[in-house]
Homo-oligomer: A and B are copies of this chain.
Amino acid sequence: MAARPLAELVAHVGGRLRGDGSLLIHGVEGLAEAGPSDLSFYASHRYREALAATRAAAVLVPLGEEDLRPDLSLVAVPSPHLAYARISALFHPVARPPPGVSPKANVHPTARIHPGACVLAFATVEAEAEVAEGAVLHPGVYVGAGARIGRDCTLHPQVTVAERCVLGERVVLHPSAVVGADGFGFAFDAEARAHIKVPQAGIVRIEDDVEVGACSCIDRATTGETVIGRGTKIDNLVQVAHNVRVGPLSILCAQVGISGSSELGTGVVLAGQVGVSGHLTVGDGARVQAQSGLAQDVAPGATVAGSPAVDHWTWLRLSVALPRLMELMREVRGLRSRLEALEKETKP
């Protein structure tokens, strides 16, 4: 990680510098951890104290906040967090192994591997599968028959992409993610006393720039497609059932579960451990708070919480009110006694 002059970093993110552009920056860090050759960022007033105490050489700040630490070089940008992400990427380029197929890989003769792709040891690519230029299949990756891996995808160790599933470009699958396992569909045969499997004949289609976390599972459709839209980011241990459609730019936090055939719009945010029942619609920009359970549709732009989920303001007040339920019960008992006393008096 070579050092870079602050002015170069400012130019990279289009910021406004108040300070010394010739400062050599060696890396990026949080306000508390940054040392005298680091760049840091200040995103909100919640971190005012950390800003006052930081030892950073320079700090990214929101536009209009250039006067907060006159002794430091400050860089004003519309979004310090975004600028930080872009500058951090300069200091931490993604290491990509050289292209080629490892002699320890297992590639079917009918698979089509672009010469600019990289297939590492113990990776398997089955018949008729395609791996595009710049894609990296780390050790232990499995790509099923007829699957298609787009340009510059990264499949981390132990990932499974089952037969015929399709990944767009720049998709990242973290270790042990599973794309295209069978959806969970059975019909009960009362006579034979057996759950009979409904064949899961569809696929998963993942659009460009999607990231899927470690041990997350996206099931193939019964027929047709399970779809993860462009630019959506999925955390670890998330379950996406068959025939679900997640719109672009959505965020699914860890341990979320989405049941079959539900549809999420654009820019939906599901916080950790949220559950979504089957066949629901969650509108564009809706936000669902942690551990909530959706049992009905959510309107675009709504923020909901609780299980079953309600408007999040209702939920907030409810959360405050609930612990006072016992008190309320006592109060009602008290009122009843007083009422009975009054009744005796007035109807003697």
Q: Could you tell me which A residues sit within 8 Å of B by CB distance?
A: 28-30, 33, 79, 81-82, 84-86, 88-89, 91-92, 95, 104, 106, 120-122, 124, 138-140, 142, 145, 156-158, 160, 162, 174-176, 178, 181-182, 184-190, 193-199, 201, 209, 211, 213-215, 217, 219, 222-224, 231, 233, 235-237, 239, 241, 249, 251, 253-255, 257, 259, 272-273, 275, 277, 290-291, 293, 295, 307-308, 310, 314, 317-319, 321-326, 328-329, 331-332, 335-336, 338-339, 342-343, 345-347
| Interface pairs (17), CB distance under 8 Å | A30-B223, A82-B188, A85-B198, A88-B198, A89-B197, A106-B139, A120-B124, A156-B181, A181-B213, A184-B236, A214-B217, A214-B219, A217-B236, A259-B290, A322-B325, A328-B328, A338-B339
Expressed in whole angstroms, the minimum distance between the Cβ of A277 and any Cβ of chain B is 6
Contact partner, A215, options B237, B275, B338, Cβ 8 Å: B237
B residues less than 8 Å from A235 (CB atoms): 184, 239
Expressed in whole angstroms, the minimum distance between the Cβ of A121 and any Cβ of chain B is 4
Instruction: Take A85-B187, A124-B121 as given contacts and tell me if A290 and B319 are in contact as well, using a CB distance cutoff of 8 Å.
Output: no
Q: Report yes or no: B239 in contact with A239, Cβ–Cβ below 8 A.
A: no
Number of copies: 3
